[in-house]
Amino acid sequence: MIEERFLKVDPEHGLLYTLSEMNRLERLSFTRPTFVKFVHEKFSGCVPCYPGKIWEYMQKNFYYLPDEHDETIRAPYVLLKDKQGDCDDFSLFAKTCLDILGGWNTNYLLLGKTPGAFSHVVTFANRGKSFFKYIDPVIIDGANNTFNFIKDQYKFRKLV
């Protein structure tokens, strides 16, 4: 069996297909002992600090390279080697690291400039929910040089 390290996603399959493939690459990364060990060694310790540590690591070690014509999604353990990716790769890396470490609930947050046209994805994490408010909500956007911030151009959002 050939291991899938990358997935080329045809945009015509739609958003749900892309998200299911991202989830598959996340599960695949859980089975990589060297990646799981890296995550624990690099980010463990202060649970409230996990999102900031992961974002800082991406800022210092990864180069943003947009997929303009095709959509290639890299498994998080592959991103460590390639050191370059787009917002899908960065959000998948952040979500996977947080899911391995525990202590945070994670989702993808889709962002768009116009209704229904989501062109950017980030990781949304929180420590739980109290009534109608999230506890310690945080945005991890490896393509943004400001931690826990969404650019004003993204007026439309969808949590998935």
Cross-strand bridge partners of residue 72:
8
Cross-strand bridge partners of residue 133:
130
Structural domains in the chain, CATH included, are 6-159 (3.10.620)
Q: What is the pTM of this model?
A: 0.92
pLDDT, residue 71, reads 76
The average confidence (pLDDT) of the chain is 91
Q: What is the mean pLDDT of residues 92-108?
A: 98
pLDDT, residue 132, reads 87
C-alpha span between 10 and 96 (Å, rounded):
23
Pair 39, 77: CB distance under 8 Å: no
Q: Of 27-41, 65-79, 84-98, 123-137, which gets the smallest average pLDDT?
A: 65-79
β 63-64/84-85 pair status:
parallel
Band (pLDDT 50/70/90 cuts) for residue 16 is: confident
pLDDT, residue 67, reads 72
Q: Is the pLDDT of residue 144 over 90?
A: yes
Q: Is the pLDDT of residue 2 over 50?
A: no
pLDDT, residue 1, reads 31
Q: Is the pLDDT of residue 83 over 60?
A: yes
Which of the residue ranges 17-21, 51-55, 81-85 has the most confident prediction, judged by mean pLDDT?
51-55
